[in-house]
Amino acid sequence: MKGNAVSDFVTAGIIAGLLLTVVAFSGVDAVECYLCSWSNRDFWNMTGLCYPGNFTSNYGIRMECPKGCEMSFLFDKDGIPTHFYRNCAPANRPISNQWKTHHNDYGYRKMYTCDWHLCNGAMENLAPSSISLFLVLQLSMWVTSFFVNAVGASQNARVIQRTKR
């Protein structure tokens, strides 16, 4: 049984979109991360250039990190920040792309792990993976629409030619 040309092109467009998605999200060996730290006990660090709100991309040291990046706040029992750092994520830490809070006897830690280029630079990021996925899906929809319209136009042209005969 012969397949419908339109459905064949739609299927091809979906497959192409899936392949583009796989290619877009594979092959990343390491990401670049910012490295810096701040402590409220550091007398010379009064401006806290690493601290959120003061941080600029010109300040932090950049380093290739095999797994991903992290940002971490340490707070005392009263909720006062005592330390903040940006670093490579350790190999044993899961990457969540969201803030997690861990409590202990001394206070608590807020930690953010991520796995894209310089993701520990800004406090609020939209994951590039979300943007990439959106763009890949848009591209696959456009390709599918193009092929569907091309096949439809081709079939319409054949119908017009048959009616002229």
pLDDT tens profile 12-25: 555 545 444 444 44
pLDDT at 68: 96
pLDDT at 52: 84
Residue 139 has pLDDT above 60, yes or no: no
CB atoms within 10 A of CB 98: 10
Residue 120 has pLDDT above 80, yes or no: yes
pLDDT tens profile 49-80: 788 888 888 877 999 999 999 999 999 999 99
CA angle 75, 80, 82 (to 5 degrees): 55
Contact (CB, 8 A) for 67 and 88: yes
Question: Please, which pLDDT band fits residue 150 given cuts at 50, 70 and 90?
Answer: low
Thinking of the domain 31-126, which architecture would CATH place it in?
Answer: Ribbon (2.10)
d(CA 76, CA 74): 7
d(CA 21, CA 31): 19
More confident residue, 139 or 86: 86
Q: What is the pTM of this model?
A: 0.56
More confident residue, 122 or 78: 78
